[in-house]
Structure 1
Amino acid sequence: MNFVVPDFAPAVTELFVAGMSLVILLLTVFMRESARNIGYVLTQLTLIVAALLTIFTMDGQVRVTLSDMYVDDLMGDVLKILICFSVITALIYGRGYAADRGFDRPEYHLLALFSTLGMMVMVTANHFLSLYIGLEMLSLSLYGLVAFDRDSARSTEAAMKYFILGALASGLLLYGMSMVYGATGNLSLSGVAQAIYNQAAVYDGVSSKTVLMFGLVFIVAGLAFKLGVVPFHMWVPDVYHGAPTSVTLMIGTAPKLAAFAMAMRLLVGGLFDLAEHWQTMLMLMAVGSLVLGNIAAIAQTNLKRMLAYSGISHMGFLLLGLLSGVVEGDRFNALNAYTSSMFYAIAYVVMSLASFGIIILLSRSGFEAENIDDLKGLNKRSSWFAAMMMIIMFSMAGIPFFIGFFAKLSVLQSLVAADMVWLAVLAVMMSLVGAFYYLRVVKVMYFDEPVDTAPIHAASDIRVLLSANCLAIAFLGLLPQQLIDLCQLALVASFQG
């Protein structure tokens, strides 16, 4: 028997994060007095080094290793870097919040690090097993983070809902993968793609096409849950509302990049020749998400629930990019469509980091600034952060010239290029509906009298980073083409075959 040692070099970032997670775990066990600071500092250093390792090893080549379970390509590298910086930012925003509420413990940072590792595995997976392992590592870590504030009944309830629905969705996804494996005889995504292209004849007397269709339905259902789109959206508002805001920040940002990568790996990397079928399913989910997300958000008085429903509508926009890639078998629009979707995912993460960062900034020990009324008169308390929140709301509403506007515009352009004008019109109409509840927040900040006149206290690093985050929304809106070109280059280098 010949044993070939796999090439571990492409996976150096994941191996480093996994190793450091174990080191931090051991250190915090044996150094309990100073464990809180050690856990936070080492977690942040680990993420920074992981991002630098990815940058220094990035060469634009596609390398498959670990028995076809791992793929190193430019799309994965770009998303890993963004995930690292997203989690770094989320931990900085949430540190003071967690400390005030007594759950700034080493385990909190470890779960964040393990969730990051799960996301990294997801964006570099080339195999059903590795993809599922990464997904479960992310999901289990997030379940723990949602329930981390053990004294909060609301957090415990949200964690239970998230766990039960997440387990169901994972089961659906795994069942779909098993059916695709049964029809194609492959677990690697490249092998599945090749088998579908070759059109395998039968499986146990049943047309492999029939088995594939059932598997595809279950896979899309599992994927829809992770994105939080209709009709698998039920967990989103309850979990966003019930989780501590620092955890909501984690859930609503970096995992969206991992979910996008998961969609690209599964649907484009493995099931691309079935695009005419999964695009129809994505279309129904996108329409439902746009309509329900925007209309339900209007009725919300809780800011976190409003952002949850608006997040559902934003994920509907992301799906619009994915579903406009192939038109009647013609793939001419695929690159622009998937580029618009990736660009939208990145823009949404940048905006979500800033929006939940503002909520954390306004919160203090014993007080959660999570209702829209809590922002009343913010301009009189802090004109600077009122302006920053206005930038966020304008960008999310798609008002020129912020990054949110160009993200929506790129998706609409891909829809029009794919002759899906009616979908583009619907998306514009729902964006106009969404503008109402975003502009309501601006109205409350600038035209209502403040209810809470307490001064805004926050560490200087949070103030500086949050200001930079909000200004980046405006800056990227002035120069969006560079980010769009990066997304396009990453997709061309990763899926050129």
Structure 2
Amino acid sequence: MIDAFSWIAVFPELVLLVMACAITLLDLLVKSRLRTGSFALTLITLGAVAILQAFYANTGATVYGLSNTVVSDPMGNWLKCFSAFAVMITLIYGRAYAGDRDMLRGGELFSLSLFALLGMFIMIGGNNFLMIYLGLELLTLSSYALVALRRDHGQSTEAAMKYFVLGSLASGLLLYGLSMMYGATGTLNINEVFRVTNSDLVNPQVLTFGVVFVVAGLAFKLGVAPFHMWIPDVYQGAPTAVTLMIGGAPKLAAFAIVIRLLVEGMLPLWFDWQQMLMILAVASLLVGNFAAIAQTNLKRMLAFSTIAQMGFVLLGLMSGVVNGHAGFAANAYSSAMFYILSYVLTTLAAFGIILLLAREGFESEEIADLSGLNQRSPLYAAVMAICLFSLAGIPPMVGFYAKLSVLQALIASGSLVNLGIAIFAVIMSLIGAFYYLRVVKVMYFDAPVAQGPASEGVRAPFGTRAVLTVNGLLVLVLGILPGGLMILCARAVVQMLSA
């Protein structure tokens, strides 16, 4: 029997599930080329679910449901809220792009996006190994279909195949690791896993092997080196609207399951998984920044940039426990949460520019396609410059304070190793600034293309331009006034740890 608290804990997910099914059916009656009815209903659903999650987060309550398999807490609620808004913004930016490329023959883009978001919600709120894996598979299966949605495009089909093969391998690694943890602890419940691993009643060798496979699976979902092989090819090959769909909101869900599994479930094994995260972070900063320098394709450059950015997230996650003391956990994990939110916000605007510059038969995904953008559209050039400065960590953009908060968490731990890694991360950021500033130079100082699609003026609906402007301003304003978002992250993480 399901009690009242179970319904409260999963009510937003039930709303999203019902609306996703309803939109899938109602789309059969929609005849417009851009699926106006389905699009409007999807945005209303996303807005309502986001507001509902924000309301849950503001209550500050932690509610367990469905026999303790799901949890609704402030950290998870805020991540779900931001995920819903990220999917909403992605669809606003990508609708015209999808329509021009015959991706809206049906309403699959909208229904698959909603089911992918439902998978994210289940991942973020999972308090049980099977529940987290169920959400992960719902997200990944929807993502495979989205990447292949442009059926007659060879590059998209190739990207979908690569994503499917490597994604299946990563899911297998994670599932094998979780099965080993279950075999060692005798439970699938994350709270019980924490209790058992905190005792001396289990075989440490089995636990260590389980943690290795779990971290490997999580590393793939985050897209960090050396599990990054899929990121450049999928980002470049997928339709740009889908690239933003898999490169934005899912990062929040991936961050959430790292917290659920490693922090809430396996914190007593901190010595094992923090060492692995340290190696992954250093490798990601090296591979991501140096590989991005050689890229001429903007989407591929941003893909390698993502690898480096996720390396910074891992730096925050690896500095929570020092010498067995978890006194720095709240500071470290809240800095990582602040970083991932800042990154997703910036990524939405950056890929939004690429989407709005594209037109039928022209992708605008080469760096050279942005030549003289400031002369064609000062607004778009300014928003793109703000995003690039933020990704590079240049003040006063929000990316600067995100990097600063992670570095502060590393240094505050008092560990000499962490201090050395912080210095290394600063050097890598300086190297990474080169390829971001190169794009700014192309937009502002290179001559515009004389003829062809890249030389045409930029046109977009007023609503889309307004959303893009607000998106870009948020990257700037949250950099000037980062305190509110930082406090939100800190409170959410403290409530998660105390629960």
Please state how far the C-alpha of 1:27 moved relative to its aligned partner.
Answer: 1.6
Pick from 359, 384, 408: which aligns with 2:379? 384
Q: Which residue of 2 aligns with 1:334?
A: 329
CA distance, structure 2, for counterparts of residue 392 and residue 414 of structure 1: 24
CA distance, structure 2, for counterparts of residue 367 and residue 175 of structure 1: 43
SS of the equivalent of 2:99 reads helix
Residue 92 of structure 2 is aligned to residue 83 of structure 1: no
Structure 1 consecutive aligned stretches of length 4 or more whose deviation exceeds 3 Å? 3-6
Q: Which residue of 2 aligns with 1:24?
A: 23
Bigger mean CA deviation after superposition, 381-390 or 172-181 = 381-390
Q: Please list, as runs of the form range in 1=range in 2, the aligned pairs for 1:297-308 lying within 5 A after superposition.
A: 297-308=292-303
Residue 152 of structure 2 is aligned to residue 151 of structure 1: yes
Q: Please list, as runs of the form range in 1=range in 2, the aligned pairs for 1:2-401 lying within 5 A after superposition.
A: 3=1, 5=3, 7-29=6-28, 31-33=29-31, 36-58=35-57, 59-104=59-104, 105-201=106-202, 208-401=203-396
CA distance, structure 1, for counterparts of residue 467 and residue 80 of structure 2: 20
Bigger mean CA deviation after superposition, 292-301 or 450-459 = 450-459
SS of the equivalent of 2:198 reads helix
CA contact (8 A) 2:30 2:38 kept: no
Q: Which residue of 2 aligns with 1:204?
A: none
Q: Which residue of 2 aligns with 1:462?
A: 464
CA contact (8 A) 2:394 2:400 kept: yes
CA offsets per residue over residues 313-354 of structure 1, 9 Å max, x none? Answer: 000000000000111101121111001100000000001000
CA offsets per residue over residues 88-116 of structure 1, 9 Å max, x none? Answer: 00000000000111112301110000000
Structure 2, gaps ≥5 residues long: none
CA contact (8 A) 2:288 2:307 kept: yes
CA contact (8 A) 2:120 2:253 kept: yes
CA distance, structure 1, for counterparts of residue 400 and residue 94 of structure 2: 28
Q: Which residue of 1 aligns with 2:494?
A: 492
CA offsets per residue over residues 424-451 of structure 1, 9 Å max, x none? Answer: 0110000001000000001101111011
User: Structure 2 length as normaliser, TM-score?
Assistant: 0.96
CA distance, structure 2, for counterparts of residue 432 and residue 234 of structure 1: 24
Structure 1, gaps ≥5 residues long: 202-207
SS of the equivalent of 1:455 reads coil
CA distance, structure 2, for counterparts of residue 116 and residue 4 of structure 1: 24
CA distance, structure 2, for counterparts of residue 57 and residue 478 of structure 1: 28
Q: Please list, as runs of the form range in 1=range in 2, the aligned pairs for 1:407-446 lying within 5 A after superposition.
A: 407-418=402-413, 419=415, 420-446=418-444
CA distance, structure 1, for counterparts of residue 308 and residue 56 of structure 2: 36
User: Structure 1 length as normaliser, TM-score?
Assistant: 0.97
RMSD: 1.1
Which residue identity lines up with residue 27 of structure 1 in the other structure? L
SS of the equivalent of 1:57 reads helix
Which residue identity lines up with residue 132 of structure 2 in the other structure? L
Please state how far the C-alpha of 1:460 moved relative to its aligned partner.
Answer: 1.0
Which residue identity lines up with residue 487 of structure 2 in the other structure? D
SS of the equivalent of 2:455 reads coil
Please state how far the C-alpha of 1:225 moved relative to its aligned partner.
Answer: 0.3
Please state how far the C-alpha of 1:163 moved relative to its aligned partner.
Answer: 0.3
Which residue identity lines up with residue 477 of structure 1 in the other structure? G
CA distance, structure 2, for counterparts of residue 357 and residue 25 of structure 1: 26
CA contact (8 A) 2:374 2:443 kept: yes
CA distance, structure 2, for counterparts of residue 391 and residue 5 of structure 1: 48
Question: Percent identity between the aligned chains?
Answer: 54
Q: Which residue of 2 aligns with 1:450?
A: 448
Bigger mean CA deviation after superposition, 36-45 or 213-222 = 36-45
CA distance, structure 1, for counterparts of residue 190 and residue 334 of structure 2: 21
Please state how far the C-alpha of 1:10 moved relative to its aligned partner.
Answer: 1.7
Matched residues, number: 488
Please state how far the C-alpha of 1:5 moved relative to its aligned partner.
Answer: 4.1
Please state how far the C-alpha of 1:32 moved relative to its aligned partner.
Answer: 4.8
Please state how far the C-alpha of 1:462 moved relative to its aligned partner.
Answer: 1.1
Please state how far the C-alpha of 1:200 moved relative to its aligned partner.
Answer: 1.5
SS of the equivalent of 1:250 reads helix
Distance 1:474 1:32, change over 3 A: closer
